[in-house]
A and B are shown apart, each in its own frame.
Chain A
């Protein structure tokens, strides 16, 4: 089971990213838990400079842009 974290302070791009990831996860029946991280101290502990950021199993896989569904599928190896 994968743990997917979306790091974002709550701007529209961050929410959009979370929505897309959740959709991809449910559409493809992926066993994963999607967690939104909004606490700024938690966010900076991942050493990222721009948001939104996607973290899969504690590894930063995407920063600073809103992905499309194909990008997300690729990141999740679907």
Chain B
């Protein structure tokens, strides 16, 4: 599917820049052109496609569904699955959280949604397909969904309601009395398309520069870092590699789209895939800006517990991947 792009990258490197096909610089340039074009186009396709899926799962219906239906334990998995298809900008996390609480949805189920929603999003999926191929992407998506589900179940067991801020506890007490449903706007599919197209373009515009920088750094590492370089430090036998990679990743957020292209090169140079996936999940899934917003509804202690449980689950899944992959 991308052979023409190989040829195009060859042509630019050798004919336009006149570089020897075997030189390091030619390799770097070739890698940069090939990866940038491939990743940007895949990300756009995935964003657009997910936009169409999204438009059938407005968050209002998800919330109504979860608060109405008795799901006998499956609600964690459902919330996690909804997290995949339902878009949510981190600035909406607080109203969304309150809306779920008002609907009498258990805290753990809400957490399941909050974990998966940023973790398995359209940009991450697009980048994953472009960088690691379909198989790794599917593994990432499934483990993201399971991670949300398991974290939600664990968090529910801890009865964390007492750590919500007082005004949210008030809402929680009144939640049984509230029966109102959230209005959803329905628009015809044809009318939605131009909007989804516009949305996709603006998402791509927002992450464009990060991807370019990430691929550029990756391209240089690809050309100049020797094969197997990282194996000596981050081999599967090194038990500290996974927790270290995960904890390092927690504070990183805004450049998630830039970090993935670099991680791909790290994997090519010998970092085990499980360690890399744990790192990426922590980058994408846990963000400090989100924590700042959540402070309005949760005490510091609750945020700390929430993040710790998710981090722990990510570390465990990193180990599991290193064993099975």
Residues of B contacting A63 in the complex (Cβ-Cβ under 8 angstroms): 60, 185
Main secondary structure of the interface of A (DSSP, over half): loop
Q: Name the one of A8, A60, A65 contacting B91, with C-beta atoms under 8 angstroms.
A: A8
A26 interface residue per 8 A CB criterion = no
B221 interface residue per 8 A CB criterion = no
CB-based contact A44/B91 at 8 Å? no
* Complex Cα–Cα for A44 and B93 (A): 11
CB-based contact A43/B91 at 8 Å? no
Residues of B contacting A8 in the complex (Cβ-Cβ under 8 angstroms): 91
Chain B residues within 8 Å of A, Cβ to Cβ: 58-60, 63, 88-92, 94-96, 98-99, 102, 167, 171, 180, 182-183, 185, 195, 198-199, 202, 293, 296-297
CB-based contact B180/A47 at 8 Å? yes
Residues of A contacting B167 in the complex (Cβ-Cβ under 8 angstroms): 41
A14 interface residue per 8 A CB criterion = yes
Query: A48 and B95 in contact (CB under 8 A), knowing A9-B293, A64-B59, A65-B195?
Result: yes
Query: A50 and B89 in contact (CB under 8 A), knowing A40-B94, A44-B98, A64-B59?
Result: yes
Query: A49 and B89 in contact (CB under 8 A), knowing A9-B94, A44-B94?
Result: no
Query: A50 and B180 in contact (CB under 8 A), knowing A64-B59, A65-B195?
Result: no
* Complex Cα–Cα for A60 and B199 (A): 22
Instruction: Give A44 Cβ to nearest chain B Cβ, in Å.
Output: 4
CB-based contact B89/A11 at 8 Å? yes
CB-based contact B91/A11 at 8 Å? yes
A13 interface residue per 8 A CB criterion = yes
